[in-house]
Amino acid sequence: MLKNVYLGRWEKLEDVLYDYSVEKNVVDGYKVIVAAYTDEDYSGDAYVLLKKGYKYYEVFGGHCSCHGLEGQWDLEETAKAALQHRIKNGYHSGAFQIAIDSVKEHFGW
């Protein structure tokens, strides 16, 4: 299993929290599996996969040149089967796309 993986312009948890404008306590008890952020021409796309206990959660985000990721931290519970389906059937946002290999490695797929 992988440890915390940060991709794109993120290098550590503090980068993720800063861009989403959230405090560190929002991730207390969660393990970051992968956090990916892509940006091009002043727009950005973000994806974070976390685990707490036996459950997995995702956070998505995106922005244009006028704003950032502020206010978009919204944990959504997900399942391994949902992640497999997305990978197999072509869900390819920029940030999720660069996170695919890390997700697959985490689950041993």
CB neighbour list of residue 65: distance below 8 Å, 6 or more residues apart: 41, 42, 43
Q: What is the pLDDT of residue 79?
A: 96
Q: What is the pLDDT of residue 1?
A: 47
Q: What is the pLDDT of residue 92?
A: 67
What residues does each domain of the chain span? 5-107
Q: What is the pLDDT of residue 2?
A: 55
Kindly report the pTM of this predicted structure.
Answer: 0.90
For the chain, 109 residues long, give each residue's pLDDT as a single digit of tens. 457 899 988 999 999 999 999 999 999 999 999 999 988 777 788 999 999 999 999 999 888 767 778 888 999 999 999 999 999 998 767 899 999 999 999 999 9
Question: What's the half-sphere exposure (Cβ side, CA atoms, 13 Å) at 51?
Answer: 15
